Structure 1
Amino acid sequence: MSTGLKAKHQRLVLIAIAVAVLIAAGLLAAWALRSQASYFYVPSEMVANPPEPGQAVRLGGMVQAGSLKTAPDGITINFVVGDGDARVPVRYSGIVPDLFTEGSGVVAEGRMDADGTFAADTLLAKHDENYVPRELHDMTEAQKRAAVEETSK
């Protein structure tokens, strides 16, 4: 059964179809990931050029001292994230990470409300380079080395 095309032309048609399928798959993947991307803002950028209300973004900065307040429901917290130039109020409901404290770094994932409050869905607490786990905090240097050696075996 003959298709009327020479073998050389058949290969060119197959290559053209394969390239078209790859381009279509790439465009489809880019379109699907478009809604998953979240932009990162620091407070001064967010105040100067706020995202659209409801757009998924990340806000990073320092939790301002004296700003952490727990709502009467016991699971909602309100605090302010700042970067030295601007401050953004944040509301979060859920379990707070262990390292989350006033004066510590935080990255909050969520959306900006129409009233200017950042509604966080997720909090990621950041620690400095001097972080020591609670379990090792009261140990001597020798005890710390022994504990590290024990876990690395």
Structure 2
Amino acid sequence: MKRKNQRLILLVLAVVSVVGAVLLAMSAMRDQAAFFYAPGDVARKGLPLDRAVRIGGMVKDGSIQRRPDGVTIDFVVGDETAHVIPVQFTGITPELFRENSGVVAEGRFQPDGRFVATEILARHDENYMPPRLGPQGQHKTDTLER
């Protein structure tokens, strides 16, 4: 076999291997993908009961209710439409999670319309500043009073 044909065969095998690996990875990731829904989308399209999804919106004012176990909370997520989604989450919420703030919750819808979240991500606006940084982006120094 000529050297030119050997290189061509190796190149074809490499391309087929890479394409096969990409297809295998994509099929494995298909089940892991979480789609994003706003409350208005859920109202229009119905509940996606068959897969994990993400919902996003604003935590409605006065909706956060903590259960006696200390780690489970119930709250309501809404958007600019009048639609809302009741959410239940068990775990520790992010520091920025509060009423009238943005939230993204990952989990599954239940047949009764309730969303059971496995993860909560608090959103902030583009002006977010870490607590230890001042307005000009310089570190604040903690001072101790004696």
Q: Is TM more than 0.5 here?
A: yes
How far 1:10 sits from its partner (Å)?
A: 1.6
Q: C-alpha deviations, 1:80-119, integer Å up to 9, x for none? A: 1000311000000011112111111111111111211111
Contact kept? 1:40, 1:58, Cα under 8 Å:
yes
Aligned mate of 1:24, from 20, 24, 40 = 20
Provide the C-alpha distance between the structure 2 equivalents of 1:46 and 1:80, rounded to a whole number of angstroms.
14
Contact kept? 2:49, 2:109, Cα under 8 Å:
yes
Whether 1:61 and 2:57 are equivalent positions in the alignment is yes
Change (3 A) 1:147 1:17: closer
Counterpart of 1:12 in structure 2 is 8
Contact kept? 2:39, 2:55, Cα under 8 Å:
yes
Identity over aligned residues, as a percent? 49
Code of the aligned partner of 1:96: T
Code of the aligned partner of 1:44: G
Whether 1:124 and 2:107 are equivalent positions in the alignment is no
Provide the C-alpha distance between the structure 2 equivalents of 1:146 and 1:55, rounded to a whole number of angstroms.
44
TM-score by length of 2: 0.83
Q: Which has the higher helix share?
A: 1
Query: How many residue pairs get matched?
Result: 140
Provide the C-alpha distance between the structure 2 equivalents of 1:9 and 1:133, rounded to a whole number of angstroms.
60
What are the ranges of 5 or more consecutive residues in structure 2 without an aligned counterpart?
A: 142-146
Whether 1:110 and 2:107 are equivalent positions in the alignment is yes
Counterpart of 1:148 in structure 2 is 138
Runs of 4 or more consecutive aligned structure 1 residues displaced over 6 Å after TM superposition: none
Code of the aligned partner of 1:31: S
Backbone CA RMSD of aligned residues:
2.3
Contact kept? 1:107, 1:124, Cα under 8 Å:
yes
Provide the C-alpha distance between the structure 2 equivalents of 1:15 and 1:146, rounded to a whole number of angstroms.
55
Q: Secondary structure at the match of 1:148?
A: coil
Provide the C-alpha distance between the structure 1 equivalents of 2:2 and 2:137, rounded to a whole number of angstroms.
72
What are the ranges of 5 or more consecutive residues in structure 1 without an aligned counterpart?
A: 137-143
Change (3 A) 1:98 1:121: same
Provide the C-alpha distance between the structure 1 equivalents of 2:129 and 2:121, rounded to a whole number of angstroms.
17
TM-score by length of 1: 0.80
Provide the C-alpha distance between the structure 1 equivalents of 2:140 and 2:67, rounded to a whole number of angstroms.
43
